[in-house]
């Protein structure tokens, strides 16, 4: 096995291996999730861009699932003194305030840097937050398909830019999974249809907000080719669509439905969708379900009028209570993995509101609800953030948030609760959902289909029952063992 120019580490996967002392430091709302085959698409696109320009790349996925020794032994197979280490930080926020010495994958990366003298590059939406954690040399924020080439040339080629193909664009993206990715048979895969969003929600920190309809959409013939190749090579029919807002453009969705309808096999998928647009275009919503959208992640955020208005989502408070159950039970016939997301801590919300939303969800047989504490990083205390949401810029002056703890600069207080109260409450709410609701979160459920589970099984088994079932444990252990075996012998 030969060393590579670029060894790229990526997380996702679900279960985390950490020491007992680190567990209390990790701010994780995923602590109830067992391992499942759920990988990110960004590292694969970066790797493909580098390979097309002459560099060798290996991705090691599921780094928080592997033990320290497993990860170290696999990594060494691809390392020498010239190997650059890359880390995708997209799903690592929960580790940000943890002790480095207690996290296996951090220890491995630190060890590799010490032994091989490797440069470390961090990527993701907010990589600068992780510089100290990994003792990193470089960061690349956001989409990296083009910028990674300039940086690798700088490090490995004395800054001389190699002759390369034309610049990468999402419109002409012809993504393929590489043999070294070791995709397993029937694996659920991530899929990207477009980038950006036509909306500009006040709490959103993503790039490419406020785009026009039709902008930054992939050529559907290229998407079709990708789906067919995945089916032929890996028997894949289940997908997690990664678009920021999948249903922001009805013309795009009509083209998508036509393309999917013409495939020689059926697919199933889940996506981030706006509930107000599912409501506005109900016939199109029915067609999406007919064409395989068995899961939707709905960012309702709050059912409180004051809170919903504060983040430019007044629709949620006015219509969501009635429409979401209608969407699930009428449009989708009750067979859906729809998950409703809430933020705890917006202006006007109380802890009791969160429990009331759980009661509403139970009474209306919502498959899954998820809760997240409001996380604010305002310019006064986080001056080096790459981007701030409009809500963060107005948190103190317009919405009355106070930040009294200099040591913990994101610990806010408002008139109804504090960040600590929000954090503790969301963990209790998630524990309740884990034990009492009939399905996993949408992406997690689609990933579990890669372990052999069906839609009927996933909508009739609580996450707690599923994860404690010997069948589930055996399936995910076998899957992970196969991946480790394959990547150790490629």
The CATH number for 140's domain is: 3.40.50.2300
- CA–CA distance, 68 with 287 (Å, rounded to integer): 46
Mean pLDDT value across residues 453-465: 92
- CA–CA distance, 364 with 259 (Å, rounded to integer): 34
- CA–CA distance, 340 with 370 (Å, rounded to integer): 6
Sheet holding 57-60, edge to edge: 57-60, 6-9, 84-88, 120-124, 138-141
Q: Does 198 have pLDDT greater than 70?
A: yes
For all residues of the chain together, what is the average pLDDT? 90
Q: Tell me phi and psi for residue 240, to 5 degrees.
A: -105, 110
pLDDT of residue 406: 79
Domain count, the chain: 2
CA-based nearest residue to 411, from 397, 401, 425, 399: 401
pLDDT of residue 34: 63
More confident residue, 92 or 305: 305
Q: Do the Cβ atoms of 80 and 45 come closer than 8 Å?
A: no
Residue 490 within a domain: no
- Burial (0-12, 13-18, 19+ Cβ within 10 Å), 438: middle
* Same-domain check for residues 199 and 228: yes
* Same-domain check for residues 140 and 236: no
* Same-domain check for residues 96 and 241: no
Q: Does 211 have pLDDT greater than 50?
A: yes
Residue 270 within a domain: yes
* Same-domain check for residues 260 and 208: yes
pLDDT of residue 263: 98
CA-based nearest residue to 298, from 332, 273, 271: 273
Tell me: the pLDDT tens digits for 252-267? 999 999 999 999 999 9
Mean pLDDT value across residues 322-335: 97
Q: Does 27 have pLDDT greater than 70?
A: no
The percentage of residues in the chain with a pLDDT greater than 70, rounded to a whole number, is 93
* End position of a domain, from candidates 119, 139, 168: 168
Residue 484 within a domain: no
* Same-domain check for residues 222 and 164: no
* Same-domain check for residues 152 and 190: no
Tell me: the pLDDT tens digits for 379-414? 999 888 878 899 999 999 999 999 998 788 889 999
Residue 344 within a domain: yes
Q: Does 30 have pLDDT greater than 70?
A: no
Name the β-bridge partners of 190: 240
pLDDT band per the 50, 70, 90 thresholds, residue 428: very high
pLDDT of residue 489: 85
pLDDT of residue 18: 39
In angstroms, what is the C-alpha Rg of the chain? 22
Whole-model pTM over 0.75: yes
pLDDT band per the 50, 70, 90 thresholds, residue 207: confident
Mean pLDDT value across residues 91-99: 70
Q: Does 86 have pLDDT greater than 70?
A: yes
pLDDT of residue 180: 96
Residue 487 within a domain: no
* Same-domain check for residues 407 and 467: yes
Mean pLDDT value across residues 62-76: 92
* End position of a domain, from candidates 168, 193, 218: 168
* Same-domain check for residues 33 and 58: yes
Residue 275 within a domain: yes
Counting every residue written for the chain, the total comes to 490
Tokens of 84: 């650059």
* Same-domain check for residues 97 and 241: no
Among 117-121, 143-147, 220-224, the range scoring the smallest mean pLDDT is: 143-147
Angle at 451 between CA 185 and CA 473, to 5 degrees: 135
Mean pLDDT value across residues 456-463: 92
* Same-domain check for residues 121 and 228: no
Output the CA–CA distances (angstroms, integers) from residue 38 to 248, 322, 362, 438, 459, in the order listed.
25, 32, 27, 20, 19
Q: Does 29 have pLDDT greater than 50?
A: no
* End position of a domain, from candidates 107, 140, 168: 168
pLDDT of residue 101: 53
* Same-domain check for residues 371 and 434: yes
Q: What is the CATH number of the domain that holds 255?
A: 3.80.30.20
Name the β-bridge partners of 239: 189, 269
Q: Do the Cβ atoms of 91 and 444 come closer than 8 Å?
A: no
- CA–CA distance, 270 with 239 (Å, rounded to integer): 7
* Same-domain check for residues 206 and 84: no
Residue 489 within a domain: no
Q: Do the Cβ atoms of 319 and 308 come closer than 8 Å?
A: no
Tell me: the pLDDT tens digits for 354-375? 999 999 999 999 999 999 999 9
Among 15-24, 243-252, 434-443, the range scoring the smallest mean pLDDT is: 15-24
CA-based nearest residue to 60, from 10, 105, 14: 10
Q: What's the half-sphere exposure (Cβ side, CA atoms, 13 Å) at 479?
A: 27
Tokens of 284: 């199109």
pLDDT of residue 20: 36
Mean pLDDT value across residues 141-169: 82
pLDDT of residue 103: 83
pLDDT of residue 167: 83
Q: Does 100 have pLDDT greater than 60?
A: no
Among 189-203, 221-235, 341-355, the range scoring the smallest mean pLDDT is: 189-203
Angle at 416 between CA 413 and CA 420, to 5 degrees: 45
pLDDT of residue 25: 38
Q: What is the 3-state secondary structure (H, E, C) of the chain?
A: CCCCCEEEECCCCCCCCCCHHHHCCCCCCCCCCCCCCCCCCHHHHHHHHHHCCCCCEEEECCCCCCCHHHHHHHHHCCCCCCCEEEEECCCCHHHCCCCHHHCHHHHHHHHHHHHHCCCEEEEECCHHHHHHHHCCCEEEECCCCCHHHHHHHHHHCCCCCCCCCCCCCCCCCCCCCCHHHCCCCCCCEEECCECCECCCCCCCCCCCECCCCCCCECCHHHHHHHHHHHHHHHCCCEEEECCCCCCCCHHHHHHHHHHHHCCCCCCEEEEEECHHHHHHCHHHHHHHHHCCEEEEEEEEECCCHHHHHHCCCHHHHHHHHHHHHHHHHHHCCCCCCCEEEEEECCCCCCHHHHHHHHHHHHHCCCCEEEEEECCCCCCCCCCCCCCCCHHHHHCCCCCCCECCCCCCCCCCECCCCEHHHHHHHHHHHHHHHHHHCCCCCHHHHHHHHCCCCCHHHHCCCCHHHHHHCHHHHHHHHHHHHHHHHHHCCC
Residue 93 within a domain: yes
Domain hosting residue 200, numbered range: 179-478
Q: Does 69 have pLDDT greater than 90?
A: yes
């Amino acid at each position: 096995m030969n060393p590579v120019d670029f060894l790229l580490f990526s997380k996702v996967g679900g279960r985390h291996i950490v020491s007992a002392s680190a567990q209390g430091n990790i701010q994780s709302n995923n602590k109830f999730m067992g391992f499942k085959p759920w990988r990110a698409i960004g590292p694969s696109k970066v790797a493909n861009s580098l390979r097309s320009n002459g560099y060798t790349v290996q991705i090691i996925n599921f780094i928080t699932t592997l033990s320290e020794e497993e990860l170290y032994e696999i990594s060494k197979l691809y390392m020498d003194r010239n190997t650059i280490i890359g880390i995708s930080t997209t799903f690592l926020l929960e580790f940000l305030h943890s002790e480095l010495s207690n996290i296996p994958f951090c220890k491995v990366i630190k060890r590799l840097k010490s032994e091989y003298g490797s440069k470390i590059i961090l990527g993701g939406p907010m990589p600068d937050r992780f510089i100290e954690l990994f003792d990193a040399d470089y960061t690349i924020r956001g989409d990296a398909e083009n910028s990674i080439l300039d940086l690798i040339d700088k490090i490995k080629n004395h800054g001389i830019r190699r002759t390369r193909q034309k610049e990468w664009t999402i419109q002409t993206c012809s993504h393929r999974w590489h043999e070294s990715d070791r995709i397993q048979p029937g694996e659920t895969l991530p899929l990207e249809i477009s980038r950006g969003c036509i909306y500009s929600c006040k709490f959103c920190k993503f790039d490419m907000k406020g785009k026009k309809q039709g902008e930054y959409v992939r050529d559907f013939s290229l998407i079709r080719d990708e789906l067919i190749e995945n089916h032929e090579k890996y028997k894949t029919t289940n997908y997690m669509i990664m678009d920021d807002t999948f249903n922001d453009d009805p013309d795009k969705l009509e083209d998508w439905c036509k393309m999917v309808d013409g495939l020689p096999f059926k697919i199933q998928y889940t996506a981030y969708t706006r509930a107000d647009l599912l409501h506005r275009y109900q016939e199109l919503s029915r067609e999406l379900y007919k064409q395989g959208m068995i899961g939707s992640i709905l960012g309702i955020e709050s059912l409180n009028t004051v809170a919903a208005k504060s983040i430019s989502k007044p629709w949620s408070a006015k219509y969501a209570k009635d429409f979401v159950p209608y969407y699930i039970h009428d449009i989708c016939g009750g067979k859906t993995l729809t998950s409703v997301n809430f933020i705890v801590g917006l202006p006007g919300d109380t802890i009791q509101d969160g429990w009331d939303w759980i009661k509403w969800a139970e009474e209306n047989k919502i498959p899954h609800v998820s809760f997240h504490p409001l996380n604010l990083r305002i310019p006064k205390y986080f001056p080096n953030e790459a981007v701030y949401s409009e809500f963060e810029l107005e948190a103190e002056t317009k919405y009355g948030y106070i930040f009294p703890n200099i040591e913990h600069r994101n610990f806010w207080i408002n008139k109804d609760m504090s960040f600590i109260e929000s954090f503790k409450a969301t963990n209790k709410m998630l524990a309740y959902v884990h034990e009492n609701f009939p399905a996993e979160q949408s992406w997690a459920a689609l990933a579990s289909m890669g372990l052999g589970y069906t839609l009927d099984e996933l909508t009739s088994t609580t996450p707690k029952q599923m994860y404690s079932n010997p069948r589930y444990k055996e399936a995910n252990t076998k899957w992970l063992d196969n991946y480790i075996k394959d990547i150790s012998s490629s």
